[in-house]
Structure 1
Amino acid sequence: MDLVFYNYLLKCFVLIDLKMGKLTHQDVGQMDMYVRMFDDLKRSDGDNPTVGLILCTERDEVVARYSVLHDSQQLFASKYVLHLPSEAELQAELARERRLIEAMMAARPAKDGKERM
């Protein structure tokens, strides 16, 4: 386990494991063990269940689908990139998100019941 946080808003421990390479079933089993240990040894009565997050450079969809990740409310795996996007890539992503938000806002009826133009 690489990082341990306590999120005071969620009232739970957040465990993060950083992996170079593809997600394996051993990674998932290891994180599952860490989460269970923290719940047993560190969690207080007012705390919510511990959350485990595995960050890897390649996510294996088969492992994600057929391991405890599939049905778990406490374990998650996600892919990360090893480089920052360029300014142009960030601008394109922001423009794409803005278009999506504007389209969603336009599709919602106004609060007074009248359609938006």
Structure 2
Amino acid sequence: MVAIELKIGSFKAEYAGKMNLYLSLLDRFERGENENQSIGIILCADKDHLDVEIALQDINKPIGVAEYQLLLSKEELQTLVVNEIKASTKEEG
């Protein structure tokens, strides 16, 4: 299983602790006997490599941190999301 967390802003050390908790919960309550250990991915708008290294150095679970870049402006993305929500609620109703 893979847990993915998308953050709007820069990486914070507390994100590593939260992901560690999520992976522990997945492994304890959701993982099957023959499945591998869960993997965590934290996607952030920005990261400082030293902050990430220090935050993850004593965590024994596989967690990766990566940056993302928006291809749309914030306004375009918001309009797209709102339109998708409206379309999905019309389909349900």
Q: Same fold (TM over 0.5)?
A: yes
CA-atom RMSD in angstroms: 1.9
Instruction: Tell me the distance in 2 between the aligned counterparts of 1:39 and 1:66.
Output: 24
Q: Displacement, 1:68? A: 2.0
**Structure 2 residue 64 is matched with structure 1 residue 76:** yes
Larger radius of gyration: 1
Which deviates further from its counterpart, 67-76 or 56-65? 67-76
Q: 2:46 aligns with which of 47, 51, 58?
A: 58
CA contact (8 A) 1:64 1:70 kept: no
Question: 5+ unaligned residues in a row in structure 2: which ranges?
Answer: 73-93
Counterpart for residue 25 of structure 1: 13
Return the TM-score normalized by structure 2: 0.69
Identity of aligned residues (%): 26
Q: Displacement, 1:72? A: 4.6
Q: Which one has a larger percent strand, Structure 1 or Structure 2?
A: 1
- The aligned length equals 72
Instruction: Tell me the distance in 1 between the aligned counterparts of 2:63 and 2:27.
Output: 13
Q: Displacement, 1:62? A: 2.1
Instruction: Tell me the distance in 1 between the aligned counterparts of 2:14 and 2:61.
Output: 19
CA contact (8 A) 1:69 1:77 kept: no
Q: Which one has a larger percent helix, Structure 1 or Structure 2?
A: 2
